[in-house]
Structure 1
């Protein structure tokens, strides 16, 4: 699926820059009246030159202001300064050159709505509409009356879009902060666990090593016993570390479901993911195998399928072999290259088989479906029941 230009972020490549540029320049249609007025030939050379220069400056400032707001914004002082230039040019040009130039107030309202803080935009947009109407009373009241509604609607619409962009940026920053805090908390937990696991053992090894060193010249047998104790403690510490590392590396289904929601949303895939899995009675090894299946399935959806929708379901079933927990990941994409199961699916099949589970994956009428089933009872119990 082609990547859509994200809201609230600067263009990441030339394609996104062209899309956003096209979206902005499409609104330059309101410049047709001033351009026709300039090329119509009814004005003096001085008026035509002055009008052309004023229009060029107005459009340049407008595009610079709106384009820059999409990326790294100008400082507030620069924004107000450029907005002030537009606020002077629009009335002066419309007052001196006639009703054909009243359309500049549409751009003035757009610039106010897109760049000013919400509270400032609330009074700046109506003020621009009032000024335009007052100038229109002198030139063409009927056209001014029609443009008032347009200026207000477009201005407040852009204010809403600007607020949406700012909120989106804040949400992205908040999400990054939450992820950083979660990583910091995980590091602290790892540090605490390592201290609890190794602190006592290493202290004991140090003390016994010093004791063995003092005993070694005169009491070699007692020193040997201390060395044997050191070996036993170190072996136990190694076993504890291995067990802890295994626990760290084992994925949890709840965490993988949350990660799937984030990954699919980031890839602009409409996701249906259950929030709280029911894992009562499910062994850790079985949960881990199901979590690996979910991770692999979501990775395939994001990287290879080109899907726009993905549904994840987690259900319990009663079968002839006993109760099972079934994970289904279904999308509306192509399912990848179609050259047979890859290494990921082959590895998943082996993982699931170790806990007595099964894996089915393949194309359906409109997309691709992966179904992983695992027994909710330990493998030994399943085997005895069969």
Structure 2
């Protein structure tokens, strides 16, 4: 049935959108704006988020809805952060006086967060504002990318350099000194660890490398002066430049002191910087190869997320509206079947036309449909509103630019769908100008409902053409305005 198809389309849209927190943040911003609340948003997470995003989206909806419902806040901050796989959402507002008041609305989300192993905290900040903080771990389910040819080359050259130095050193060691020399040379392989990003083992392993570097020089008194070059090159990769430079200079001094008397001081002090440059270059090459690979993988993930979000927006905005309109027409035709068969037949004919349009809209989800036109969409909206018994007034004071028509058509669809679903409107006023579209209805209820995906989707679509979405409420009306950038 149309009702079941509509429910399935909305469920699919929600499932796709749960991969990202961005649409929910946009919807929350729109709801706060409609309540006259200033919103500051700062995001510091990576997409996609999967289940973690869906959980935090619930917290965000309930927290923002409670802020608007109370109507006492003037400012609200929404921030996200991701650190070590832990995703944190904070919603802070200045409209709650006691901790108990704000915590009551989040009892349901708190249970879901706890069941997922996360944590939700609420309470008053030192400055008197009420804060909601939810943290949940993002599972690391991304496949590990294969090493690039550049990385394999850098690591291979570095490993070969270390191997040559080890063999050279062992050939110079008397058999009686092997118990000391062998562990030191093997420890030099720790330099290969620095081709990977930093970890908690950085300082201990760096200390091991330093010991393995200077023990042969001071204990065995052998002229292996190039070994400190590996340490100095590692220092410049792992530490700030000033710290690395100071420690590198100290390493040179210690090296000169260790080889004093062997007649190789000058040769050693030249070999150390040269070796350090080679080691530093190979380590940086390996790391840059990893960074480029990760950047390419991040761009690919972002492209996947954007495509999924586009499919979710199209399912909600295009197919969802068509099915809702078919449902309204069907209900009307069913009621008129006995009383006015002729009009019922016309309504059924409209349903067939809408079904054809819904099939065409389905092609838009795959990106193969033609652009929507604002004129036909306006006529369709008038027909749907009339079928629902809602009086409509249209004021046309200009025509929007052709490249903005597809987005404005979707704005109109969403506004009409929201009137049918969420209001008890008796009259809708539509105003069209060359740089704006305004839809106002008189069906405002006293309740504030959690933000759906519609406003977030519209904000995203309008932002793509540098346009803005504004919403406002009065005791008797709700207004939605899409403002296009002014053109010369």
Q: Give the TM-score taking structure 1 as reference length.
A: 0.49
TM-score by length of 2: 0.39
